[in-house]
């Protein structure tokens, strides 16, 4: 069933459609809390009544029939929800991840674990880096840390709240913490890291309610290419 006006306001409905939420099934998949936060992320002016309306649609009732307890539960969901953002188009995301892969290949050529990262600001790459831990004798010289440092120098600010960071491998706890501290807007990574990944594989620092929550995360971008580069590197090392 398609979402319609009424009960959703015309401007809100148009923005939901732009976000790919066109039917009740789409809304159910996303959830009322995330849909509401996505609307806010686009700059759409929405009030709590919009949240009540979205939840009521999922329950098949009128918004006026929501109980105080249901409204309180929704408000708590919003408070505890991980950061939400509207991400660039798939083609743009793929383009920047390719740039990160080029950085990762430089690491491989140096005998370093092939991980690359780029920082994007206003649609332009302002910093790029790759792993140099072995070469620099410095455990902190992961691709993300080096890219953040270069981006900070480029912008003259250690806070990178308007930036996106593309990484070929899910960040570890050290790098995830640095990304959070830098307050980057969005982190997009390629392959998951089942042993040390701190964006959902082992733990998810970006969703930890005890930390400042500023950064939305998207994983699995060009995952096969990113994973193959790592697997080829370790295969050659074993041989």
**163 a known binding residue?**
no
Residues 6+ positions from 233 with CB-CB distance below 8 Å: 108, 113, 114
CB 168 within 8 A of CB 190: yes
- Mutual angle of helices 173-182 and 143-155, in 10-degree steps: 20
Of 91, 85, 83, 94, nearest to 166 by C-alpha is 94
First-residue to last-residue Cα distance in the chain:
57
- Residue that is written with structure tokens 């069933």 in the block: 1
172 in a known ligand binding site: yes
Cα separation, 151 vs 168, in Å, equals: 17
With a CB cutoff of 8 Å and minimum separation 6, the contacts of 169 are 115, 189, 190, 191, 193, 226, 230
Given 144, 170, 193, 225, the catalytic residue = 144
144 noted as active-site residue:
yes
Residue whose entry in the numeric block shows the structure tokens 């780029």 = 118
Known catalytic residues are 144
Binding residues: 142, 172, 175
Binding residues for Zn(2+): 142, 172, 175
């Amino acid at each position: 069933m398609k979402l319609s006006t009424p009960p959703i306001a015309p401007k809100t409905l148009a923005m939901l459609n732009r976000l790919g939420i066109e039917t009740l099934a789409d809304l159910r998949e996303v959830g009322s809390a995330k849909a509401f936060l996505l609307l806010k992320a686009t700059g759409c002016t929405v009030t709590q009544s919009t949240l009540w309306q979205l939840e009521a649609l999922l329950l098949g009732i009128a918004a006026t029939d929501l109980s105080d307890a249901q409204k309180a539960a929704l408000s708590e969901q919003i408070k505890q929800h991980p950061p939400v953002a509207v991400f660039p188009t798939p083609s743009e995301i793929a383009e920047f991840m390719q740039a990160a892969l080029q950085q990762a290949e430089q690491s491989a050529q140096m005998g370093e674990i092939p991980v690359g990262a780029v920082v994007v600001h206003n649609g332009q790459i302002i910093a790029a880096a790759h792993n140099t831990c072995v070469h620099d004798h410095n455990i902190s010289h992961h691709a993300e840390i080096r890219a953040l440092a270069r981006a900070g120098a480029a912008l003259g600010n250690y806070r990178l709240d308007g930036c996106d960071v593309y990484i070929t491998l899910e960040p570890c706890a050290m790098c995830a913490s640095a990304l959070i501290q830098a307050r980057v807007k969005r982190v997009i990574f390629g392959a998951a890291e089942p042993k040390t990944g701190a964006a959902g594989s082992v733990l998810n620092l970006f969703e930890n309610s005890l930390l400042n929550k500023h950064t939305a995360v998207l994983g699995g971008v060009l995952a096969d290419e990113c994973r193959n580069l790592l697997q080829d590197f370790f295969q050659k090392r074993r041989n």
